[in-house]
Amino acid sequence: MSLFDDDQPKKKTAHEIGSDLSQLSVDELTARIALLSEEIDRLEAERTRKSASRSAAEGLFR
């Protein structure tokens, strides 16, 4: 057994909306901002995909 847990999967950073941020370091805050920015991009891409699909469907019934 190793003294270091380098081979263990790292716990993925998560963010809970409204959580206390006062105990986080600058690096942890930066990581959370990156995480949330990626999630915003993912949400916007899905919204765009669904809007295009909806517009196509509405076009069929005009």
Number of structural domains in the chain: 1
Instruction: Give the dihedral of Cα atoms 15, 21, 23, 26; nearest 10 deg.
Output: 90
Where does the pLDDT of residue 3 fall: very low under 50, low under 70, confident under 90, or very high at 90 and above?
low
Residue 40 lies in a domain: yes
pLDDT at position 2 over 60: no
Range of the domain at 29: 24-61
Rounded Cα gap, residues 55 and 49, in angstroms:
10
Residue 5 lies in a domain: no
Where does the pLDDT of residue 11 fall: very low under 50, low under 70, confident under 90, or very high at 90 and above?
low
Per residue in 15-53, pLDDT (tens digit) is 899 999 999 999 999 999 999 999 999 999 999 999 988
